[in-house]
Structure 1
Amino acid sequence: METVWHWAEGTWRPGSGMLDSRDSLWRRGLALVETVRTGPEGAPLWSWHRERLAGGLARLGWPAALPEGLPEVAAPAALRLVASWSPERPAVTLRAHLRPLPAPPPWPALAYPPLAACPPPAPLHGLKTLSHSLAAGEDPAPWYDRVLANPRGEVMETLRHNLFWTDREGRVFTPSLETGCVAGVGRRWALARLRAWSIAVAEVATAPPDPEDIAECWLTNALSGPVPVGALGHHPLDPGRARLGPALAGGWPPAQR
């Protein structure tokens, strides 16, 4: 059985509380979501998740007093926070769902070329919503994940991750937020790490690159961290050429901030 808490009167309480039937945003998959890696020693990137959630709530004009901390857990886990609201309520409803941490396979293959997808409209553009989580639940078998492109044909992200790649000259790329990709916490961590190593990253709005031109590719999210990719569609990527993805993965999970 899934462990659930809800935020009420300044504390985390067991159970889901009452889901208001007036909450049409929840039913339409437009609740905001943060999926946090946590454990007995805390959630090292919670401040970034909280900052993103607060920014999304402010953009939408949803009234909320967010908690400073998270429910305590006994083992490393994924904690999915879901924030929803209806205009008839005085404040946002916030729930926390405890789930096992995912375990990506080594050097997974991605479905490629990208599948066309439509990012959510403004003001949800770039925010992680319940509709993202529902889409991430789609089974991309036999692939580990599926690369997505926006209606303009620009590579955007995957169902569950942000995307990075290097070309054969060693230049590093990631889709820009203007493509409609989610501003992922794992993406932010990888960008900060690369820049700390004095490695420039070009945030681009571009057509999907030809796999022949890619030296290495990796995924990021806030649960699995960096995941080096072994193939784009039926085009294998040589693990011997992969340098940055494995180096980033070696620094994950981050220490408590």
Structure 2
Amino acid sequence: MIVSWNGHLIEGGEFTLQVSDGVFLRGEGVFETIRAEKGEPCLWNQHFERLAYSAEKLGLKIPDRLILLDWIRRVIVANQLLTARLRLTLGEGCLISAEPLPEELDEIHVVTSNCPINEQSPLAQIKCTSYAENMFLLRESGADEVIRPNTRGEICEGCISNLFFVKDSVIYTPSLETGCLPGVMRQEVMRHIKVREVEWVMADLKDCDEIWLSNALRRLRGVTSINGRILPRPSELLSRALAKVVV
């Protein structure tokens, strides 16, 4: 794999960080995971805006939008990819990598967790590199996704996804007041279809007809089961939403 470090292309195996780097020592960095199609990053402007917001919160310097786009394109070409999973990590420097997209899952099984997300944290709604808690919960669960509440017991988000629910043919999603990440794909879905933002408690999940997960890589996918309970196959609402979402 060839990566970009501050615009310089190097072999991934040769990349090194200074031992004093804040991302390495304290997780003081932000990142974006981006889907690439036909050699171009999807929804780049939206990803950049969120990255810039997160960087400002942590006091990090961010390169110009067009400079970053050029670096991304060069990494994609260097790795001879057209469709790719891009990872842009910003700390004391900027690291960009590109690799093949993960395989699509035929079924998606999720579980719920009692481990809350702190919606009052100053880092709430920032995609920070301090991601160990989410990865631990996901790995220990053995599921494809873990749905977490906030400290008030409201449905917040998954470890790697935003959430949508369908009940009586109405589409809902946790509001930003719950502390959920303002996902780029969440934003794109809400730009194209009617969605109601709500503050539901975790017990409300049992009354949902459908549950969808959204993120930049897998876009929008229906959930097969939650806590072992098989859900109905996604309705036409999901296929209509996918048809309208620009990726």
Q: What range is the shorter-chain TM-score in?
A: 0.7 to 0.9
Partner of 1:182: 181
Q: 1:227-248 deviations in whole A, cap 9, x for unaligned?
A: 1111111221111x62322333
Amino acid across the alignment from 1:63: K
Higher helix share: 2
Partner of 2:170: 171
In 1, Cα distance between the equivalents of 2:165 and 2:203?
9
Partner of 1:32: 30
The one of 224, 237, 243 aligned to 2:236: 243
Partner of 2:10: 14
Judging changes above 3 Å, is the alpha-carbon distance between structure 1 residues 150 and 104 closer, same or farther for their aligned structure 2 residues? farther
For the residue of structure 1 that corresponds to 2:139, the secondary structure is coil
1:231 is aligned to 2:225: yes
TM-score w.r.t. the length of structure 2 is: 0.84
TM-score w.r.t. the length of structure 1 is: 0.81
Partner of 1:90: none
Deviation of 1:49 (Å): 0.5
Deviation of 1:15 (Å): 4.7
Deviation of 1:12 (Å): 4.6
In 1, Cα distance between the equivalents of 2:219 and 2:125?
19
In 1, Cα distance between the equivalents of 2:240 and 2:132?
28
In 2, Cα distance between the equivalents of 1:26 and 1:154?
32
Partner of 1:53: 51
Judging changes above 3 Å, is the alpha-carbon distance between structure 1 residues 66 and 18 closer, same or farther for their aligned structure 2 residues? farther
**Paired residues, what number?**
235
Between the aligned residues of both structures, percent identity stands at 26
RMSD over equivalenced CA pairs, Å: 2.5
Judging changes above 3 Å, is the alpha-carbon distance between structure 1 residues 64 and 248 closer, same or farther for their aligned structure 2 residues? same
Partner of 1:94: 94
Q: 1:30-52 deviations in whole A, cap 9, x for unaligned?
A: 31010011144311211111111
For the residue of structure 2 that corresponds to 1:131, the secondary structure is coil
Native 8 Å contact 1:109 1:232 kept in 2: yes
Judging changes above 3 Å, is the alpha-carbon distance between structure 1 residues 238 and 129 closer, same or farther for their aligned structure 2 residues? same
Judging changes above 3 Å, is the alpha-carbon distance between structure 1 residues 211 and 172 closer, same or farther for their aligned structure 2 residues? same
Deviation of 1:145 (Å): 1.0
Which deviates more from structure 2 when the two are superposed, residues 151-160 or residues 24-33? 24-33
Q: 1:171-213 deviations in whole A, cap 9, x for unaligned?
A: 221112222211111111111121xxxx2x2222221143441
Amino acid across the alignment from 1:130: T
For the residue of structure 2 that corresponds to 1:139, the secondary structure is helix
